[in-house]
Structure 1
């Protein structure tokens, strides 16, 4: 035996369009979470590219390759907008590559991806 409510009963009146309203609230939140997750993945990829760029430049400078060429190659390997710096201290060369934070993550105060590579000069005693 099933009980049926008469049309227009109080239980049915307030539910009309509820699924549409819930979807209208949930969908933008889902899109925002997805965008932040993709920006976080981009941040991780940028860090790996910074590490690769710093290592390759440090190796090239330690071998005695042309300094400008090594830094240009590091800028090509690093994410766009990155800064590449090198310093020579005694028998070691240090290369620092810093990339910008993705725009969506800047308001969160995320530290920029940064990599430091140190290599001993091959001509050093």
Structure 2
């Protein structure tokens, strides 16, 4: 202990001025907190529309990717069915059903290959654009297939 703050009963006594050093700090400025009240709400109001737009863009991109995968799978399934000798009407119906609503299917021959082309407009907001999910699959007909 220092000479200015003698201990009494094991406790430190305040200095001769009457106030301890902990009490000499300036009190907090209470008005500062009032000026910032609602700051988080304002920041959230500014940021939230951007977050919503970003989420919408991600969901739209995921939907477009899923549509492209469905169209590609449908084209491959159609090409396999043609290679196995299924009738063209069955192939077109099956492929259009696999690709989804509004899909167009074309079956053609290209030399030794059979070509199945599938196209479908993209869903959601991308329907308003000229973007189309498109896939082509080729297969060689199996020997002895009708």
1:94–1:16 distance in 2 versus 1, CA, 3 Å:
same
Aligned residues: 120
Greater Cα radius of gyration, structure 1 or 2: 2
Q: Could you tell me which of 7, 15, 18 is aligned with 2:39?
A: 18
Higher helix residue share: 1
In structure 2, the residue matched to 1:118 is 138
Q: Which runs of 4+ in 1 moved over 3 A?
A: 11-14
Matches within 5 A, 1:46-125: 46-105=67-126, 111-123=131-143
Per-residue deviation, residues 9-66 of structure 1 (Å, max 9, x unmatched): xx55653322212111211211111111111111111111111100111111122211
* Partner SS state of residue 93, structure 1: strand
In structure 1, the residue matched to 2:29 is 5
TM-score (normalizing by structure 2): 0.69
* Partner SS state of residue 64, structure 2: helix
Q: Highest relative contact order (Cα 8 Å, sep 6+), 1 or 2?
A: 1
Q: 2:130 & 2:113 partners in 1: Cα distance?
A: 31
User: Please, which runs of 5 or more residues in structure 2 have no aligned partner?
Assistant: 1-24
TM-score (normalizing by structure 1): 0.79
